[in-house]
A and B are shown apart, each in its own frame.
Chain A
């Protein structure tokens, strides 16, 4: 009984230390645990894979640094997939707190790896405030919402955009989103304007988004770091030359596995302590155990 109480009353800082150590070890010594792909991610990858060179894809950076560890690997993998296939990429951002920076960092970093030219193969139209209003207006005319790209070049003077005026000129929109923005793409852009939508969501949002995936309102869904890791695996299998670059989320899954085991151990321990304490109270004739 005393032992159970002692374990139950363990200082939570020991838990933090164990989790930190459990996370640090795989970062310092990657284990390469296997990552199994799921249909939700495979569907998105296959759709992207089905496009012909020159077709247009919109990638929306709808997240900030607070979700970057989950969504950056997805962004890198999706952009690499677009460039390796020769797709034209229109990049926008709808998240105010750092979406602009995330977009610039990811786009220019990945673009450097390929023989692509800004304005011809890809364009960054920047951040725009307004969320739903922006998505709605882009169905009519993207140039009204984004009159210039981030270099200050007029929309009408950008070669890539000469035949891109609204969603009907874009094959798919991929939103890398935190919070509710991915949902907007599904319930507005897909459901009302018929635009195929793929979403890379934070793990917190992912469970809700499966309903939209199941209803066909999303072409595919990458949920959290696991979703990113799956896309990296699929990309690496299809394009082995990208394997060494697209593996950030795959490495992260080692940490996830170890830390999850620690958390599961603590959950089991907590429940066992509770059961022992309860049976002990019952034996002692206390009231609490019988309630």
Chain B
């Protein structure tokens, strides 16, 4: 391996480490999710092992009783959106800037 190769390998490693670190994402809550959590929005940086909406709900559920009241107690009912599009729980958080949690919709 030449010095240049070594430098490239190091650069790659560094990039990987950067991408593996926590993402920062805006979370927004609506209706009884907002009321139970006690706020309408917040910005959080979940750890890198949180890869999907389902992972994020487990992680949020461990943040305190008000979160557990939604993300554990109501985990089968709560719906999610990434960047304002409805998504199922197994969806990856990659590219997520805004993640919303809310009850099933009741408009019309």
- Are A and B associated in one complex? no
A contact set with B: CB distance below 8 Å: none
